[in-house]
Structure 1
């Protein structure tokens, strides 16, 4: 990718904000993927998607071994971010949030890369904390909670980390995050560190035991297992791992978000789907319509993390959420726009890339 920092034309490619009645955009640069959603609010308090983008960039490739983002990984991410910036140029933006997560939190050169990305693309990308990542996942999944849910345990199995959010239900308002843990273990880090070990029963179980030990410490602090045995706790998962399990459990000929998002799987169905995926092996995973060659190496590491969650917190069912940080960012921005103080501020101060609110 050409170096756009020295290109005087870069100023003309920077997306601008401030158009009244414009659209909202959320960009999530993760350890494995770069994703964008562009949407407009609906009267019901949700949103209608106008445009989307997703590309596998493998930003965290080699991070576990080197402690740094590689030049190749950064170039792939910058190319994807530039594609997102070009898409946003065609839209009358009202607000934009652009975030990056665990790879840039961990990498020694993460902050330098974010500065380079901001300068190169004009996108106001920033590194968010593990807590904010958990809060955004909670906000995106809140519409799937029901009035009878006293608590919810939400897991998000990412590329570079796994977030667990312990949530207090709120039938008449936003749920409350009452505890969270971020494990520096994700599908990319496991795939690189463990190699092909997850393809054998012994290797798979070693990963389950390791992750379960980390989760058990969190459980002892919040007594989650005890709360689950008392009832009224919803187990909910958001990530490619749990949506893949749902696709396999439903025997879908190809992945379909409308059939997956919000689906409540009986735990035996989910467990059988895990066994089916494990039996496929690497070649079978590459050919499966709900997996494919780009994700084949990451499915079983994700399943091992899921199996650890199941071991520590047994549940009769799991709610599958095909939504995440982008949806959480969109809902947060739109909710803030409905506040009277936010509307006054929006009228008084035109949006500028450097002035996007942090939360």
Structure 2
């Protein structure tokens, strides 16, 4: 079986295809293009038209390599630049069309977790506590953990591209610019570093760290390990060049030259802040973590299930009620979308599992509180796209439908909102009931729900709630017909 991961990084886009061999994944194909997406993010935090075009051209080429692969075998994610982009939706529409597969935007901490998983799967097994550092184009991830599990993970909004653009904008490399870049990066790291505790060995992954390792090896300064002394020699060489265009270092690839100054400044800040003297490189990174995460979803317990259960515990969710609502919602959604994928059903199930987590804040407007908690919590295994969509389902479970008007424009999301709302209504008694006979049909602009007439007569409150529900849909221009079945 082949799995594929697409990493839409702030500096480079990478595609990795892996062949599953038992519990291991062997590289089957790899493709990388330097896109410099972060450089296309303007002061207004919008991606330029040219940046979007360049990204889509690259993704279209990747589509040729992915063509024919099943959707559930491919995962594409965006990182810091896309997290920051104000015109993200505009980008995603064009990018997904070019790639031919959905693209998720993941949070900084989720990116860090996946980086750690990717690195540790390519390192020798060890029970030592490991530090992993990943310097990307617009963010740096620091993670400490043991085995394949991250114990502490943080993402910081500084990387090789944005540091170069900010502190070496005119292409000049001097002591003042280098110091400003290093101090700015160190200031980012210092706020969160106390929580990391101790570790036994340090590893680095991704472009900047791999490039630095190769330079140090090629120049004969180290055997490829990144050391304090090696970094100092590299810094002196950059200062000696004086300008980015004049940098000449053995082992430095042309596509890395433009951003090496910012990357080295950030790495020097990592060494200074964490008190490191040596770091080794790890081949795996975000894309390898994505592959193993995909494999885990297919072959073993999905991490997202564990995350949802932990959130239920944390916020004291009534699990019996959540299960009742989830079971009914699944039945209603089956009637509305009989060919829906397992992944779509999972999103609905997770929304049902967490639909009452807002009770932990207040019973008043609990659906709004719950939506906020789901959208803004760090949920391991979930992309920000997943969290936003699940949050919209939770927000739309009751009350006025205008607050989820944008989601209702999408028939797939509208179907899940309707299914969850009906499940909440039929479960209002908070106990097991004998479900009635029912039929449910929906098309754009019209919903028809049929319910056993005798059952409705015995459950007047449910009938009243369903009539109120019909009125809510009518208010947004969707005709909702409730009829009693003979």
Alignment partner of 1:168 is 2:135: no
The structural deviation recorded for 1:356 is 10
Q: 1:34-67, CA deviations, whole angstroms, 9 ceiling, x for partnerless residues?
A: 1101110123x33222222111122222415231
Query: With CA pairs under 8 Å and 6+ residues apart, which has the higher RCO, 1 or 2?
Result: 1
Paired residue for 1:211, among 159, 172, 185?
A: 185
| Equivalent residue in structure 2 for 1:323, among 277, 281, 284 | 284
TM-score when normalising by structure 1: 0.76
For structure 2, list consecutive stretches of 5 or more residues without a partner in the other structure.
304-338, 348-380, 383-486
Aligned equivalent of 1:49, options 27, 45, 69: 27
Query: Using a 3 Å threshold, how does the CA distance of structure 1 residues 284 and 197 change in structure 2: closer, same or farther?
Result: closer
Distance, in Å, in 1 between the alignment partners of 2:180 and 2:20 is 46
Match of 1:117? 95
Cα distance in structure 2, aligned partners of 1:284 and 1:292: 13
Indicate how the Cα distance of structure 1 residues 193 and 270 shifts in structure 2: closer, same or farther if over 3 A, else same: closer
Where does residue 18 of structure 2 map in the other structure? Answer: 39
Indicate conservation of the 8 Å contact 1:67/1:106, yes or no. yes
Task: Please give the per-residue CA displacement for 1:74-126, whole angstroms capped at 9, x wherever unaligned.
Answer: 00100111111111115577611011111111011012211332234321111
Name the count of aligned residue pairs.
Answer: 310
**Whole-angstrom distance in 2 between the partners of 1:340 and 1:312:** 37
TM-score (norm 2): 0.58
> Closer, same or farther in 2 for the Cα pair 1:136/1:288, shift >3 Å?
same
Question: Cα offset for 1:203?
Answer: 1.1
Aligned equivalents of 1:340, 1:328: Cα separation in 2:
16
SS of 1:250 mapped into structure 2: helix
Unaligned runs of 5+ in 1: 1-21, 254-259, 343-348
CA distance in 2, matches of 1:298, 1:163: 18
CA distance in 2, matches of 1:353, 1:293: 41
Pick which of 51-60 and 139-148 moved more.
139-148
Question: Contact between 2:215 and 2:252, CA under 8 Å: does it hold in 1?
Answer: no
Task: Check 1:353–1:199 CA distance in 2 against 1; reply closer, same or farther (3 A cut).
Answer: farther
Aligned CA distance change for structure 1 residues 94 and 104 (closer, same or farther; 3 Å): closer
Residues 311, 185 of structure 1: CA spacing in aligned structure 2 closer, same or farther, 3 A cutoff?
Answer: same
Describe how 1:253-272 pairs up with structure 2 within 5 A: 264-272=225-233
C-alpha change, 1:237 and 1:252, in structure 2 (3 Å) is same
**In 1: Cα distance, 2:200 partner to 2:172 partner:** 30
- Which of 104, 114, 132 aligns to 1:136? It is 114
Choose the corresponding residue for 1:202, options 165, 176, 181. 176
- Describe the SS at the equivalent of 1:163: strand
Aligned-residue Cα RMSD (Å) equals: 3.1
